[in-house]
Amino acid sequence: MTAVTLNNELVNQIKLGGLNRQRAIAQIYQDKRLKKQVVDFVHKNSGSKEDGIDIFHEGIIAFDENVRKEKYRGEGDLKGYLYSICRFIWLNRLKRDRRMVYTSENEQLDDIIYDTPETKSLKDEQKHLLDQVLGQLSEKCQKILEMWKLSYRMEEIATQVGLKDAGVARRQRYKCYQKLIQFLDEKPTLKNLLK
Amino acid sequence: MYPNQDIEQIEKYLTNQLSESEKIAFEGRLEKDEVLRATYSKHELAHKALDYLITKNLKQQLMELEAADEEQVEEADQDNIISINRKKNKTRRLRWIGLAATFALLVSFVFLNYFNQSSLTGPALANSLYQLPEASIRAADGNPIYPEVLLEEGIQALNNRDYAKAIDQLTQIPEDGAYFYEAQYFLGHAYYNSDQFADALKAFDIMISSDDFRFLPDANWFALLSCVALENDCQNRLNTILNNPKHKYYNAALKLKRQL
């Protein structure tokens, strides 16, 4: 299989969602060479091994989101793209923390959020409020909504969560979603923070 | 547009299901329609909250995978340290037991060739190590995870030893179907038990190509047995398992290696 075919296949699997996405992410995670490249880069730029692993994870998460939101459609080399994301995240973290950066690499990737100390504290507040809102939903509701958002079929959702059938899952999803909207409505601060 | 249709449009817009022209039309409406805009904001916020949930859970899963990896590496390192110490002690004794070992080998060779009438090769060797695993996938609460009819019926047929029916059911699951790779795993077993080792090997290899870590160790092992049954060169497949002392079938692979 050529690299281009593999790129496209992984991207398509993530877009399909469900178990396909899980497999694709597992395959990317298991790329030890890529992980080592990221960890080595972070280590050469004032980071620890743990920082490197954390950045590798952050890179996969950002990559997953970019694919699902069609910000990356498979153009160019997937591994190169993911490596660039990781590099960008780390360099920005260094700048945010005002640590010295011994590299001339200064690429901008428009789709990655740049963290300044101000945006970081804003993000923490967003996360805190989101955790509060999501915490008001039952674990079952959270699971149903997460799986629905990740394009799992209703039959899969029903089985995973222990519901009778797809019809029941569909109705349950609707109720959980309405609850989520209601809880978010009760937090006008969050609305402003997420704009 | 009616409220329900508006919500449908909003959801399609937020999940990228609208065509370019539909998106432009919808965005045009959003600009002009305040009520629609207010409803849209609520749904947009809900989707952002779910994106956050997905990110948070993915982060957790990656950390758990990392922790599991590190545990394996630590245990492997411990084993290496122990085996290195043992090797150092052994070296002193090796000279003294060398002659005895050579003699023992000669005796074993004679014994195996003249007294062992049932040395196993090919299908017989593979079958001596084959065991049909519990052919069902169940969630923690005991309910089956795959309601897909063909897959369930295929697994049921496999459990009932009706391999022809299992093959018939499982080969109908399309390549772009949700359970294609899982079906290939069970299909491999159905073929294997019908002595169709080449088809079994092909099915297990398809499963392996999916990289689904739930089935990978098992698929590697049964692909190896299929290869042995075909009397092909299986060294690479054997090494895949033997290179990982923590592999589920490591001991079985060692046993197989001794017999090959």
* A2-61 pLDDT, tens digit each: 555 667 888 888 988 888 898 899 889 988 889 999 999 998 888 899 999 999 999 999
Query: Taking residues B130-149, what's their average pLDDT?
Result: 58
DSSP state for residue B246 in the 8-state scheme: T
Of residues B128 and B219, the one with the higher pLDDT is B219
Task: State yes or no: pLDDT of B74 exceeds 80.
Answer: no
A78 burial class (0-12, 13-18, 19+ CB within 10 angstroms)? Answer: buried
pLDDT for the residue B95: 55
* B163, B190 contact by CB (below 8 A): yes
* B148, A158 contact by CB (below 8 A): no
Nearest to A194 among B48, B54, B147 (CB): B48
Instruction: Tell me the chain B residues in contact with residue A64 when contact means C-beta distances shorter than 8 Å.
Output: 58
Predicted confidence band at A109 (pLDDT cuts at 50, 70, 90)? very low
* B221, B147 contact by CB (below 8 A): no
pLDDT for the residue B154: 87
What pTM was computed for the model? 0.56
Give how far A68 is from chain B: nearest CA, Å. Answer: 9
pLDDT in tens, A44-94: 888 899 999 999 999 999 999 888 888 887 777 788 889 989 998 998 888
Radius of gyration of chain B (CA): 28
pLDDT for the residue B147: 44
* A139, A125 contact by CB (below 8 A): no
Task: State yes or no: pLDDT of B114 exceeds 50.
Answer: no
Chain A: residue nearest B64 by CA? A57
Lowest mean pLDDT among A62-66, A111-115, B52-56, B138-142: A111-115
Residues in A whose CB is inside 8 Å of some CB of B read 18-20, 23, 25-27, 29-30, 53, 57, 60-61, 64-65, 69-70, 126-127, 130, 133-134, 142, 145-146, 149-150, 153, 155-156, 158-160, 162, 177, 180-181, 184-185, 190-191, 194
Interface contact B54-A27, CB threshold 8 A: no
Nearest to B210 among A23, A25, A158 (CB): A23
What region, left, alpha or beta, does residue A139 occupy, with left being phi > 0 and alpha being psi -120 to 50 degrees?
Answer: alpha
Query: Taking residues B231-245, what's their average pLDDT?
Result: 89
Rounded-to-integer distance, Cα A28 and Cα B128, Å: 37
pLDDT for the residue B260: 79
Task: State yes or no: pLDDT of B143 exceeds 60.
Answer: no
Query: Taking residues A175-182, what's their average pLDDT?
Result: 95
SS3 category, B138 = strand
Give how far A101 is from chain B: nearest CA, Å. Answer: 26
pLDDT for the residue A195: 62
Predicted confidence band at B107 (pLDDT cuts at 50, 70, 90)? low
